[in-house]
Amino acid sequence: MSDALSLVIFGRHVRVQCQDAATRALFVAKYGHMQGRQGPVALQYAVGRQEETGGFFVGRAGQAPSMASDPGELLFLFEKDMTVELEKLRPDLYFIHAAVLAFGHEAVMLVGESGSGKSTTTWALLHHGCRYFSDELGPVDLQTGEVYPYPHALCLKDVPPGPYPLPTNTLYTAHALHIPTAALPSEVGEGPALLSAIFFVQYRPGAAAPAVQGLSKAEAAARLFANALNPLAHVGGGLDGAIEVSTRVASLRLFSGDLTATCALVKATLKSLLSNEEARRCLEEPCSHP
Amino acid sequence: MNEPADHPKRRTDVNIRMVDGEVVVLDRQAGLIHQLNQTASYIWDRCDGQSTVAELAEQLAVAFDVDVNTAVHDVATIIVQLHRLGLIQSPNNMPGSP
């Protein structure tokens, strides 16, 4: 059996030819929210199970396929290749390795190294009135200051602590937990939103309380540049793009700790930063965790 | 001839931007980005290979209204840090050196 999955990501049509029903179900769980058709196919992939080895393959049209030993590695290889290709297809966007949430029409970015807790913090914040944009990719339009959603299934490395239990339809792979967008406690972003604030996240386990600290525009620019994925596609080797973004938004360092306290601190901080009335209304919404 | 250690000179083969009074330096050769605070930015800007460390300290003392001894200490410390980061030219990191 062969069935194609059509996705629209950053206005580009990505077609994934799934060779079997189980692989298709895996991709629907991970990327289902981005299903759609728009314009000619810009990227085409074939994915599926490799009968001889019991493993999986992923191949972009015209390229030799890569092999994966399990579904988690399959998703990893696909996503890695696809995001690089999307960066090439949209060189006008400044891609930042970041999680993104939106309160009303204002977007907030969480930037941090792998393991800094940005996905876990994102998962917790989704219980507090915001919309999900991404846990991995924040492409910014430098002309408008807007950031685009990339709502694949939210990916966690571990079961989150505190009062934010995983939904029953969480997808478990060898190295990660994937929460499909349909199982999120929040709405999902459908279009770009104005980037208003950036938190540079650093997890401080055991700290008495989470804390935020203002950052200068220059430090924010340097930190943003360090997390830029396609800087060379932009003027000045990408430095000007990072400065452009940092001078438009409020930038803070977030020392995260206990999840509930971290969410409360982020919301309190945003209440003083976000000016849009709808954003402020979202921040007033009660927490939706059990 | 000016000795690099006495007359520090900032590297010219890096991308530099001033953001709100602080310098951001992109060193593509080393794959590093640096953000200098206002004091370091002031000193960096004056590391032209002509001014001595003592002259830099005098300028800093006037600009930031600090005593000369403090300024000498600050300049010396920052020049050492800029050297360690490879942002000041030395015989080993002059453009064109192997």
Q: Does residue B93 register a pLDDT over 60?
A: no
Instruction: Say yes or no for a CB contact (<8 Å) between B19 and A221.
Output: yes
CB neighbourhood size of A12 (10 A): 17
pLDDT, one tens digit per residue, over A21-35 is: 999 999 999 999 999
**Whether B32 contacts chain A with CB within 8 A:** no
CA distance A218 to chain B (A): 5
| pTM confidence score | 0.91
The shares of helix, strand and coil residues in chain A, as percent rounded to the nearest 5, are 30, 30, 35
Q: What is the mean pLDDT of chain A?
A: 93
pLDDT, one tens digit per residue, over A261-277 is: 999 999 999 988 887 77
B5 band by pLDDT with thresholds 50, 70 and 90: low
Token pair listed for A147: 């950031």
Query: What percent of chain B stands above pLDDT 90?
Result: 83
Token pair listed for A75: 């998703």
pLDDT, one tens digit per residue, over A206-262 is: 778 999 999 999 999 999 999 999 999 998 889 999 999 999 999 999 999 889 999
B91 band by pLDDT with thresholds 50, 70 and 90: low
Average pLDDT of the segment spanning B66-86 = 94
Q: Which amino acid is at B8?
A: P
Instruction: Say yes or no for a CB contact (<8 Å) between A237 and B35.
Output: no
**Residue A25, pLDDT score:** 96
Token pair listed for B47: 């590391």
Instruction: Say yes or no for a CB contact (<8 Å) between B24 and A240.
Output: no
Instruction: Say yes or no for a CB contact (<8 Å) between A236 and B19.
Output: no
**Whether B61 contacts chain A with CB within 8 A:** no
A108 band by pLDDT with thresholds 50, 70 and 90: very high
Q: What is the mean pLDDT of chain B?
A: 88
Instruction: Say yes or no for a CB contact (<8 Å) between B33 and A226.
Output: yes
B94 band by pLDDT with thresholds 50, 70 and 90: very low
Q: Does residue B7 register a pLDDT over 80?
A: yes
**Whether A248 contacts chain B with CB within 8 A:** no
CB distance A252 to A214 below 8 Å: yes
Q: Identify the helix (H) or strand (E) that includes residue A138.
A: strand A137-141
Q: Please spell the DSSP secondary structure of B18-85, one letter per residue.
A: EETTEEEEEETTTTEEEE--HHHHHHHHH-BSSS-HHHHHHHHHHHHT--HHHHHHHHHHHHHHHHHT
CA distance B98 to chain A (A): 24
The ipTM value here is 0.84
Measured between beta carbons, the chain B residues lying within 8 angstroms of A247 are: 19-20
The shares of helix, strand and coil residues in chain B, as percent rounded to the nearest 5, are 40, 20, 40
